Structure 1
């Protein structure tokens, strides 16, 4: 396969022989702005270039080469398939196309205030390739001298001019037609949130008076004459169809009911009419938390949008539609609307079966899982989930144990069961109705048990969580877990492995195979500035804070908690006591042409105290793996500058610092590439005699950063992204035998990491 790819790449380098006489392949486009200090963005101008070559890379000519070969072999099914799947039609330089791009750029310059600017192009040709340069000669931009809003109706004027400081174009700014379009959207939204159901952006127009001498403009906003657009509408009735379908649209409902609800901050009485085509499957009062449209109040687009979002959180519906019909005028001459909400249910029950082969650092295995979901278990849009998984693995053993276990194909088994229940509301001792309607909350209860039977020991893990999830706005979300229980029980330790543990001097390593209990709370905050269906740079931030053991420590002097070997236990299991926090920041920078610069900074700190000397193994920080330091295997880095004597024990720490950077770019079709670099490490909080130099120190930590770099191939098949990252580990966190941190001559520097989705 590698040889085939190499031969294709070499063959495609000689692509010039296929180019027809007088034609030139577009190799590169440049935009040159002759005047310095302007606010013109080159990337915006480049977006109007129609003759765009594919980004240069080691294989950029392969798709075009396939196209040429297919053209010369029209009867070959193989070449036709290759061309359909991977081929790319060549992009030739064309004067008319380049002139069209220049004209598009000039229109854009007019729209951003540089009226009358000129754009020309020149082309350089060499060996059947063309490099095109677009020369931009901008004029002096026009600025806005005065903005005037002529709105005769005083009520409408108050709605439009409310908080006018947020309008994007202001006096003194350079004229920008795009900003005026944004202003129209803002005004339209304000009008629709104030009851003007038929108002739209086309009702707004601008008159522009320019002064050629001083390059200024006077802009006047006016409203077109349209009686319907300026009528204020009020909601009369709300009719709800929870089991609607197209097949039943002409049928008569078999059941109906009216629900009395008090909505809004003033608890306005509303009567919602429900209509069912089949036996009701959901309780009408369920919708009191998800419908924001209020009878008797003006039509409000924001309430409609919030209703869509809230109903969309109910997994039992696949299609939701909200429509309004005008009502004939009554004696009071008030314009009214009837609201109709239709929802098409999805299948209540669903099953999923999965099987997969595993390869954990050379240990081969197989796993299978079965999951069941009920999307409306208590007829209130509650979701119940049940999952069962089982797996077998052939782990490498040592010495005589390897011979003794050699008769068995698999020497490690795993079995787990999880169950969860999600309520589309807050459950608790207090009334959260107003809070719930605004924040789209859920309450989740999860229980789990996992059994891992290995040759050397058995591990039994029990979990239980009770958590709240809500959104304060479309960018921020919160998860509060007041109850977070995790119990790990170690038993059936092999005598040989027990001897190894007894001889081990590192308590941190011993604790990995010691029973322990975590009982505490956790809070997570997430901020994401990415806008759905819009491209552009964005920031992602996640912070986590948790604590454990503090409540249990209050019972240390009671019979509930016992003392053993200098620490306290509950039901014979030592409980962990610590606080732990982390911050994960990611910057995604759009650099155009579907290319991105992505940076990630992660800082985590855990402070064990009281009943714990170290963080529990599963709550410790670690380095390595497909989503972190990709030059190392999972949990194999650090801690600190400690020089490992064996690779058998997974390495963890109480503190982590990690920095990642990626340049992501398209290759062709479903194939994308990335150049990346990772740096980081983990450290212990306290000094550890068995692991010298493992603790964090401000004057040495920067010398203890492991580093790697590499190339990644990402295959995007719409429903998932398969990621292959080839990383080169180039710097250890400790000095080697020559006194250097760098490891360029190591034979095992290269590591292939396989993952699903992006690493960050």
Structure 2
């Protein structure tokens, strides 16, 4: 055996020397030099001046040319350029088939030459980039560093000397001598250009776009950003710029003229493109359509915001087209205005809107794999039927049948019984959606953004083998609307859920007998709630390198109903249709921040806190409303419901003990470094922390109450790494969590690291999508 390992070692060592001795310049022509990466890239400011990070990134971009087989960095070559070896030592196959043809075309890589890189051009590009940032007169140079053993190989060293930046000494706008220049002058308060700011060509371009948008929303339909020009004088003062904005010469006369909205003509084609033509006149438009037309009279006037005789606005034009598209009743919507060569001195732009109705009945069948926050994963099927434009104003009635089968990933929960059929759910749900807010007319709302009202009614059967089978009915009314491009609101004025246990197993009954709090949370009951959710979702920064997502929700259950009963003189325990109803308040807030570090490498973080309090008609919140922690989308070193509340830990011999591991308060924080490995394969290194607690003392769960003196020790901590494979429409994820600290005490490990063993501290999870 020892001789076998020795022989393998000799073979591998010989293969290594053979490969490393292979020439990568064998097929280079006379005068060609192989580019093997960047030796050094120095970026220095004059007199020790600090160069901003975004400027350095802009400089590095054109200089960071990839050599053959880059390793780790985009400009450092791998010591094993396999593609070059294949290119140099295999002649292109004459036959366009067979293994040799496939192997050569798959792996051979043509050499990247110094002439391909063209460093002379790249240093000029760097000087132009620096000028765009306001650094005029930069000095950029390069040097070829030839390989000592092979002069046909070379790396490149770059040195960039960045001069002091230039700032605006004065800024002047066009003289307000025409209606257009008067409009520009009136908007100076909103200008992006300010005296004392650093020169930046991106800001100049953004200011031109701002003015063009302003003009186009005030009748100047044919005005374009390129019609604004700048004159910059840099001779008056060192590092100072006198900037003058002007309207360029040769601008078409039509672009300098303001237009009003003329006639509005709408043509509506039927779904099959057939039908006799008819027409009708609304207050502000003429509509020609193919009969029959199932459309209520208010739909077009309320969604087309352009009005004849008003100053033409491109913003209102776009809004009109967006409003019609969001009705979801048209297959397409096109909007055209009078072409410039047909105006003939007119001061109005006629609008023509062409649309075609979509097929009113639609069905769908989906087969998917779902991954839930409770670490259950499994296939599911959904069959749905939708009726569009139900009442002639864009309403959609959809009915869906769904079924799923799931099993739990990660470490098996202690005390849980295994089953071939882990879990299944069957359900039917109906939704009636209105593409507008159904509110009294005196309540004004912003029509710039989409809004909808929807009503839901459904029933679900949940089966948990060895534990229980539960039937749940739900009905709700909801409003979804926006108040800005990044602010979203969901208001649920009423949601009613009724949970009924159909049957339970003897072991589950024993659990309920032993823990009264769990028994009360599973009791057959109505859950009448009112809720509100606010979501802020915004990407910002150059090329959207940052993203902030903040979602806060508040839920109140049973309070309105209890108040009405109190007024009616009903005291003590209150019931609805002979069943107790829940009364509690609950709130959660979650903040996520995503930061691009470089390339396709991101730092993602999340902080979440939630709390709930049962009172009045309830002693505990329903089980479905309580908090739990751990699992594939939470603290990945621990499986679902294996932590908390607090330092409480169920007896290892207690069957179904993990049912106790829910709480009224939750705190969780996560940070994850996401990086690209190769192709569609990405990796991640993460750290998770958090726990759940009780807000009231429970003698059956000692250590579960939230207390300041034990708060630090109660925080569970885990780290780990994972792989993600992105196949465009779905992300497959595998994470291995490593526990560092558990909230419960371990007499054998009294220090902060208190895991019983490294093996027992691992948690492996398969999931769909990112954890947050």
Q: Same fold (TM over 0.5)?
A: yes
Task: Give the CA deviation at 1:117.
Answer: 0.5
Does 1:758 pair with 2:749?
no
Task: Give the CA deviation at 1:91.
Answer: 5.5
Partner of 1:452: 462
Partner of 1:149: 173
Cα distance change of structure 1 residues 362 and 290 upon mapping to structure 2, 3 Å threshold: closer
Q: Which moved more, 1:748-757 or 1:702-711?
A: 748-757
Partner of 2:243: 219
The CA deviation string for residues 212-253 of structure 1, in whole angstroms up to 9 with x for no partner, is: 6522111111112432111111111112234389x97xx997
Partner of 2:621: 615
Partner of 1:638: 644
Cα distance change of structure 1 residues 71 and 362 upon mapping to structure 2, 3 Å threshold: farther
Does 1:255 pair with 2:278?
yes
Q: Distance in 2 between matches of 1:33 and 1:306?
A: 49
- 1:314 is aligned, of 291, 308, 327, to 327
- 2:305 is aligned, of 279, 292, 297, to 292
The CA deviation string for residues 176-210 of structure 1, in whole angstroms up to 9 with x for no partner, is: 22211111000000000110011111211111111
The CA deviation string for residues 252-272 of structure 1, in whole angstroms up to 9 with x for no partner, is: 971222222xxxxxxxxxx22
User: What secondary structure is seen at the aligned counterpart in 2 of 1:530?
Assistant: strand
The CA deviation string for residues 35-70 of structure 1, in whole angstroms up to 9 with x for no partner, is: 433446212222223503656199996996468558
- 1:20 is aligned, of 20, 24, 32, to 24
User: What secondary structure is seen at the aligned counterpart in 1 of 2:477?
Assistant: strand
Does 1:464 pair with 2:471?
no
Partner of 2:57: 43
Does 1:599 pair with 2:599?
no
Does 1:507 pair with 2:516?
yes
Cα distance change of structure 1 residues 362 and 426 upon mapping to structure 2, 3 Å threshold: closer
Q: Normalised by the size of structure 1, how large is the TM-score?
A: 0.85
Q: Which moved more, 1:683-692 or 1:39-48?
A: 39-48
Cα distance change of structure 1 residues 531 and 171 upon mapping to structure 2, 3 Å threshold: closer
Q: Distance in 2 between matches of 1:38 and 1:358?
A: 48
Does 1:573 pair with 2:579?
yes
Is the contact between residue 482 and residue 521 of structure 1 (CA under 8 Å) also seen in structure 2?
yes
- What is the correspondence of 1:333-732 to structure 2 with a 5 Å cutoff? 335-355=347-367, 367-391=380-404, 410=421, 413-428=424-439, 430-431=440-441, 434-435=444-445, 437-453=447-463, 454-502=465-513, 504=514, 506-530=515-539, 534-556=543-565, 567-646=573-652, 648-650=657-659, 651-732=661-742
Q: Distance in 2 between matches of 1:631 and 1:305?
A: 49
Q: Normalised by the size of structure 2, how large is the TM-score?
A: 0.84
Q: Distance in 2 between matches of 1:613 and 1:90?
A: 74
Task: Give the CA deviation at 1:89.
Answer: 6.9
Larger RCO: 1 or 2 (CA < 8 Å, sep 6+)? 2
Cα distance change of structure 1 residues 364 and 538 upon mapping to structure 2, 3 Å threshold: closer
Instruction: Show structure 2 runs of 5+ residues with no match.
Output: 1-11, 26-32
Q: Number of residues paired by the alignment?
A: 725
Is the contact between residue 50 and residue 97 of structure 1 (CA under 8 Å) also seen in structure 2?
no
Task: Give the CA deviation at 1:594.
Answer: 2.2
Is the contact between residue 521 and residue 621 of structure 2 (CA under 8 Å) also seen in structure 1?
no
The CA deviation string for residues 566-611 of structure 1, in whole angstroms up to 9 with x for no partner, is: x433223322211111111111112221222121111112122222
The CA deviation string for residues 105-137 of structure 1, in whole angstroms up to 9 with x for no partner, is: 110111111111012245668899987553221
Is the contact between residue 487 and residue 537 of structure 2 (CA under 8 Å) also seen in structure 1?
yes
Instruction: Show structure 1 runs of 5+ residues with no match.
Output: 1-7, 261-270
Is the contact between residue 261 and residue 349 of structure 2 (CA under 8 Å) also seen in structure 1?
yes
Cα distance change of structure 1 residues 722 and 495 upon mapping to structure 2, 3 Å threshold: closer
Q: Distance in 1 between matches of 2:165 and 2:377?
A: 67
Q: Distance in 1 between matches of 2:443 and 2:375?
A: 53
Is the contact between residue 387 and residue 419 of structure 1 (CA under 8 Å) also seen in structure 2?
yes
Q: Which moved more, 1:79-88 or 1:222-231?
A: 79-88
Cα distance change of structure 1 residues 94 and 701 upon mapping to structure 2, 3 Å threshold: farther
Q: Distance in 1 between matches of 2:370 and 2:239?
A: 69
Task: Give the CA deviation at 1:450.
Answer: 0.7
Does 1:325 pair with 2:345?
no
- 1:111 is aligned, of 115, 132, 145, to 132
Task: Give the CA deviation at 1:542.
Answer: 1.0
Task: Give the CA deviation at 1:98.
Answer: 3.4
Task: Give the CA deviation at 1:411.
Answer: 8.1
- What is the correspondence of 1:90-109 to structure 2 with a 5 Å cutoff? 96-109=117-130
User: What secondary structure is seen at the aligned counterpart in 2 of 1:305?
Assistant: helix
Q: Which moved more, 1:116-125 or 1:81-90?
A: 81-90
Q: Distance in 1 between matches of 2:756 and 2:16?
A: 32
Partner of 2:204: 180
User: What secondary structure is seen at the aligned counterpart in 2 of 1:228?
Assistant: helix
Partner of 1:264: none
User: What secondary structure is seen at the aligned counterpart in 2 of 1:296?
Assistant: coil
- What is the correspondence of 1:174-253 to structure 2 with a 5 Å cutoff? 174-211=198-235, 213-225=237-249, 226=251, 227-243=253-269
The CA deviation string for residues 310-335 of structure 1, in whole angstroms up to 9 with x for no partner, is: 2332223343322111599999x750
Cα distance change of structure 1 residues 117 and 362 upon mapping to structure 2, 3 Å threshold: closer
